[in-house]
Every structure is written in C-alpha cells, then in structure tokens.
Structure 1
C-alpha cells in the first residue's frame, strides 16, 4: 500500500521551493529551481534508477522510461515554475505549504498546489510506485517537466525539438488543462471530466495613441489618453462574435443525455439551437463566455511619466485568446475595424493561432477516459464521471507538442470546486489532500494502460 503521509510530505517539500518565473528572466532567482531539480533523485530514488533523465534548456527535465516498444510513446507533462505572489493577499504564507482543516476538508495551501506542481508530483508518485515493482510499460513513457511554462514556454519547445530530432512521435500526450467539475454547463450536475482536445490561441495587441505632449494644466481637446480610452471602450462594447466551435459542439452532445428536459433536447439538437445557445451562454459567466467567442481584455496601461505631464504616448496591451477557427490575422483585422480610429496604432507584439484539434474518439481517447473511470470515479457512492471534450481556455506547454503528435490532451485530474478554480493565479491557491492523492491513481492507471 502506498504511504500517503510520506507522499504528502514530499509534495509539501517541493511546494516550499519558490520557483517563481518572470517574463524578464534576469528577475528570476534560480536557486529554488536548482534545489527543486536536485531534490528529485533523493525523493524519488526508484524513478531515477529506472528512468533516464536529462536537463533541457537549462532547467527543464525530460525523463524516458524504456518500454517493451518505443513506438507511440506516452508523454506526461507538467511544469514546476509558478506565478508570482502578493503575500499580503494570502491568508497563509504562500510557500509554507500548510495543511489547513481535517479529514476530507484538509487542504494544502501553497502557490503551485494546483498549477502545476500538483500534477508534476503526482506523476512522480505514480511512477515511483510502479518503478518499485516488476512493472514495465508496454510503450516508452516520457515525463516532460517545463521550467518556464508561465512565461515563454521555451523549455517545452526545446524538448519538442529534441524529440523531433530523435524521430519520437508520441501516441498520447497529457498536459494540464480542464478538471473534474460540476455545474459549469447549465443544467448539468453530473461530475464532468473536461478534457481539452484543443486550446485557444493567444496574442497580445498593443494599442498606441500619440500626441505632442506638454503641461497637464493646458490639455488639448482630445488627448492621447482619451483617444486610447475610447478605443478600449469600443473594444469592450463590441466583443468578438459568438459561435459554437466543433469541440464545444461535441461537449454539449456528450452532456445532453445528462441534462434535464428541455435542455436535453436543446443540447442534442445544436443544428437548430446552436446560434441561440451561443448568444445566451455568455450570460452564465466568464468560463461559458470564453467557450463561445474569442475574448479580448486590456491588461496593461501606460501613459505620462508624471501626474502633471501630458502623455506623448498612451499605450494599452490587450490580451486576446483566440477561439478555434479564428487566427491572429483575423483578430487583428477585427480589432482595427472595431476601434475605427486610424490614429490609434494596432501592433501585434506576439501571437500564436489556436492549436489543432485532437480527436475525441479512438484508442488514445479511450485510455484517458478509462483512467478517469478507474481512478477518479467514486464506486462507493455510485458517482460516475462523464469524460467530455472541450476547448482549453488558457494556453499550456502542450501547444508545442502538437507539432509531433496528433493526440494531445489537456486535463488536470483534480475534482475542483469553483472557489478552488478561482484561486488559480490568485491568492489562497490550495488543493484538498484526498483530491491530490486520487490524482496519483489516475496517472498510475494511465501508465499501466499504455
């Protein structure tokens, strides 16, 4: 039997290392990253005896577990960098990894508990358990652990380049993504494993307005800041059009049998009801809105260097997440049309189109769904989890793997409440201990089935 207390202790030790990434890598303190990498052989000795390990791009990790066959290997992905914290916003120290509560409510509070050390450590626990037996995987198993997913994703790209050079074509790739949730789709109360078969593209558009400048005591009739504000307001009042992309159509078709009437009929007849659903769903919150349209939001603003100085340049960074079917080029054209002001420059700082769509049928998909059923469903209560495709709303390192695999899925095998999901990239990130321990079983069963 696995020693759950020891597993939790290892998890907490790794959570206590502040592996915080920054877009400007000169701001990164690399000592915790080095300490994280150095701790793994001590914490997981059998894994490091059975698996080959190499360091890629300075700090990312690539493991290979030779199987009976090298073709169509399984790749399990995670990342160990975390986003920065504002410590005064947290109820508990963000890197203390304290356990709060008792019994089923006991939870580990720490940055990275869900995103994404939770999955990384669960993968290592699963491998350690199997490596300690006579088990040998039927196919090669790779573990790809990135060090800068939250910023540039260069580690994962380097891993993909390395695997491509070696002729490795994974048969199944699993990275972070959707979770086991309830109540996300209106009318559907059954627990649902949301497996991302694609992810939205991501781009940043810079909006820039310019003027001559001067003293703020004598402002012009329409200063650059006002012109920029009008452009942002127009983009907010005229969001991208709604539509139902194929993976979202598959989501509703899968969940239709589990919805009450008349929603069962509505979800099952999207050829008729799809346009109406697409218009209604944004009213059910940000997640549903993001499933049916490309989203755009201004995230960074800059203007004058002083409070009594007119801005010669007013600039806004707009984060745009592209729904399957849209592109960086089409989104840029839409932003320019909506702003309708030739004196506001629109420049794409960086962008990537939505990922290809992986199939939600076939043997790789059945392996994922089988691990959900065997490890995450609660047989004692009769709770069955419905596995369904959907579009991953955020970007992940898995987007680089679509260049070498047609079966890339995004799923974090946690049963998460809305409050727990809201804590991602925010304060008080936490994971319930029992939920995390159950995740280990998912990876163990998936490896065994591969």
Structure 2
C-alpha cells in the first residue's frame, strides 16, 4: 500500500513483490533487461530495429484498505464463482495490479513463443502512483538521460464501459488522449484562539466554512475541448433518442451541449469543467478551545484548456476573503493532448477492436491522474487505457470496498497487450 508518509510504508512487502517476479516469469526475465529505481521497475525488451520504442506502463502500489466492510479480505485475492461469473476479489485488481500482471503475462507468452518486437519495448512499473509518482518521474528521467524518446506510451485510464453516454447501447472503449491537471488547494484561516465559552462572531472555522460555501456556489465554467467534441461526435453517431440530434451537431450546439453535460450526472459534469472536492478538514485540537488555525484541503481536477494559475484566480474571486490563504500543493498542469488519428492512435484502436469488436473506440480526457502524465515530457503519443470491461458497479469499487475483476475480462486484457505488442 502507498502512504503519503513514507515512513509508514511497509517496504518489505514491495521488496517481496520485486524478488518474486523472476520466479513467476522466467522467460521474461531471461530475455528482458531489468533495472530498479527505488522500488520502481524498468524493463527493456530489445527489438530487432532501431525505431522509436514502445512503453507499457502500470503501477503496482495500491491505496490502503482494511478488512472492514469487504465481502472478501482486500489482500486475500480470493476467487469466487465459475464460468463468466468467476471473480477475483482484491485491492488493486482494477487499479492497477491487474494491468501489471496482464502485461507480464503477455510478454511471458510472447517471449516463450520466440517473438521479438520490431523495436525496443519498455515496461515501466511505478511504485507510488497513488501518492506522488516519484517512481515514474525517476524512470522518465533515466530514459531522458539516455536520449530515449518513445513513439508510443500506454498507461492506465479509460476502459470498456457501458451506459455512460445517453442513447448509446453498445460498449464504449474510452481511450484517454490527455488528462486533467491536479492539485491540492489548501485553504487556511489563522486567528487568535481562546476559550470556546466566549467565541467571537466569526471564528476561524466559520470563516473557513463560509469560504467553502462560496467556492461551491461558484462552479468553474463549462467548456468543451476539441477532444470532448470529437468524443461527442463519435458516440453521437451511434446514439438513439432525442439527444442524438444535439450530439451529431455538437460544434454548432455547444452552449446547449454544455448545459446537457452539466446536468446529466457527476461523470458528465466532470468532463466539461474543473472540479473541486473538499476532502480534508481540521480545526481545534480540543472541544472547548477556539481554533487558532482552521484548514481545508480541496482536491482540484483542472480541465484541459485551463491552468493552475487560472484555477487559483477563480477560487480567490469566489471566496472573496483575504483572510483565507489559498495555496496550491504539488500542482500539475493538464497534460498535452496526444493524437486521436494517425498511426499511433490506429495501433491502439486496432488492438482494442481485435479484442472488443463490438466496442466503439473514442478519445476522451481522463478525469483522474496517472503516472502517464510524466511521460509527456519525452513522448508525444501518451494514451490512457486499461483493457478491461468495467460495469458501473465495478468502477465504483475503485479506491473503495470490494474491488474485483471478472477473470474473463482479465484474460481478454492479456490478449489485448499481446496484440498491441505484436504491432510494435
């Protein structure tokens, strides 16, 4: 498990994982070169040519979990059911150890089959994606120092999903061509403390609460990026029902479309605007003492086309209180947009179509953050796609209880990586 406080991390568990891999994948470890950067791993599979290499990414750390509330313990990796309903229950099955192991399985099978890629292939496995992503940054730095500039990078991200777009019944393979920026914004109020029996009219916590209320009352403006428009046009062509007429005329009807997306649900609303979520609050250390410092941490996901600076300016205008200090912590700008046409995109779309022939493949902007954003420093084509079918219920288990994956879809994921690698 990744923890923000590295001193609380059980590094022995990470070491055991790394030490066990050669025994589980002997063919891979016989053919590929492996190096370790901290607890992150970088494999190089030499190709027969000298063209731009491929990078397949995943991370093997997971968010913390306890047994409380889980149907099956989160680290027991229990199998249940049979046939199409056979399930593997464990933290990380979807995010993101399932992809790590699917990549390893695909490479092991291809090496055993004497396959040699046309160009070098790198496997990049980060160890702290769920916290700060320092592992991926170290791997990118190592490749940059060697002059390696990948032609194609694939990390976790979108998946094969259903019923996420109005009027579209077919499965949809959403492949991220960019991702939102991310920052934690700390709202801090510092005031004189004292005994809670004689409070001032405006305590630090009240001032902070007012700031949060004002922020929520002024959402960021809705926008449709070029990627958003392409997604709507792609999916709109397959839609039925009254909204189809709007979707196929997305460019001409942008004001109406923005309003529709802002009202359909949480996921669609997040597609078109920068979002804020207050995730942590702190105040006094005692029940009968006025807080001298009150603080809120706001998780902000910054829309493509915006910036950290624009985000902070919007918050200052919304909160309208100079006594509330607004500070961005570990800010990361929205990622550059990768091509959604051309050979790199076609390679990705072809591999998806080979394994999920019914799926409509569309570009989209990933709402979460991934280690892939670090690779944009050395590559122009960085995609975010996890080759698993995920129902709405299963997507709801990401970073939550009862995370699980259908064994059948995990096996399809292995086939996807095999197909993608054969096109390397």
Q: What is the CA deviation profile of residues 89-117 of structure 1, one whole-angstrom value per residue up to 9, with x for unaligned ones?
A: 21111100111222211111100011000
In the TM superposition, what is the alpha-carbon distance from 1:68 to its structure 2 partner? 1.2
* Partners of 2:167 and 2:241 within 8 A in 1: no
Aligned length: 424
> Among 5, 9, 23, which residue is 1:42 paired with?
23
In the TM superposition, what is the alpha-carbon distance from 1:119 to its structure 2 partner? 0.3
In the TM superposition, what is the alpha-carbon distance from 1:284 to its structure 2 partner? 2.0
1:166 counterpart residue number:
146
1:9 counterpart residue number:
none
**SS of equivalent to 1:177:** strand
In the TM superposition, what is the alpha-carbon distance from 1:276 to its structure 2 partner? 1.3
CA distance in 2, matches of 1:301, 1:70: 53
1:231-310 to structure 2, matched below 5 A, reads 231-310=211-290
Q: What is the CA deviation profile of residues 118-167 of structure 1, one whole-angstrom value per residue up to 9, with x for unaligned ones?
A: 00000000000000012111111110000011111011111111111111
Structure 1 runs not aligned, ≥5 long: 1-19, 378-383
> Among 388, 398, 413, which residue is 2:387 paired with?
413
2:111 counterpart residue number:
131
1:59 counterpart residue number:
39
In the TM superposition, what is the alpha-carbon distance from 1:231 to its structure 2 partner? 0.5
1:98 counterpart residue number:
78
* Partners of 1:66 and 1:141 within 8 A in 2: yes
**SS of equivalent to 1:70:** coil
**SS of equivalent to 2:328:** strand
2:301 counterpart residue number:
321
Q: What is the CA deviation profile of residues 37-87 of structure 1, one whole-angstrom value per residue up to 9, with x for unaligned ones?
A: 01110000000011111101x110000111112321110000000000132
1:399 counterpart residue number:
373
CA distance in 2, matches of 1:353, 1:393: 13
* Partners of 1:71 and 1:168 within 8 A in 2: no
CA distance in 2, matches of 1:320, 1:330: 12
In the TM superposition, what is the alpha-carbon distance from 1:263 to its structure 2 partner? 2.7
CA distance in 2, matches of 1:55, 1:326: 36
Q: What is the CA deviation profile of residues 193-233 of structure 1, one whole-angstrom value per residue up to 9, with x for unaligned ones?
A: 10000000001111111221111111111111011001001
Which is worse superposed, 204-213 or 227-236? Answer: 204-213
Which is worse superposed, 273-282 or 256-265? Answer: 256-265
2:8 pairs with 1:27: yes
CA distance in 2, matches of 1:263, 1:160: 43
2:99 pairs with 1:119: yes
* Partners of 2:229 and 2:251 within 8 A in 1: no
CA distance in 2, matches of 1:188, 1:72: 37
* Partners of 1:71 and 1:170 within 8 A in 2: no
Structure 2 runs not aligned, ≥5 long: none
Q: What is the CA deviation profile of residues 324-359 of structure 1, one whole-angstrom value per residue up to 9, with x for unaligned ones?
A: 011000000000000011111111122011000001
CA distance in 2, matches of 1:127, 1:349: 38
* Partners of 1:214 and 1:310 within 8 A in 2: yes
2:66 counterpart residue number:
86
> Among 336, 343, 364, which residue is 1:363 paired with?
343
2:126 pairs with 1:146: yes
Runs of 4 or more consecutive aligned structure 1 residues displaced over 2 Å after TM superposition: 261-265
In the TM superposition, what is the alpha-carbon distance from 1:238 to its structure 2 partner? 1.4
Q: What is the CA deviation profile of residues 404-424 of structure 1, one whole-angstrom value per residue up to 9, with x for unaligned ones?
A: 110000000111000000000
Two-structure CA RMSD over aligned residues (Å): 0.9
2:202 pairs with 1:185: no
2:55 pairs with 1:75: yes
2:321 pairs with 1:347: no
* Partners of 2:47 and 2:116 within 8 A in 1: yes
1:385 counterpart residue number:
359
Q: Give TM-score scaled by structure 1 length.
A: 0.93
1:331 counterpart residue number:
311
* Partners of 1:376 and 1:439 within 8 A in 2: no
In the TM superposition, what is the alpha-carbon distance from 1:432 to its structure 2 partner? 0.5
2:196 pairs with 1:216: yes
In the TM superposition, what is the alpha-carbon distance from 1:261 to its structure 2 partner? 4.6
**SS of equivalent to 1:270:** coil
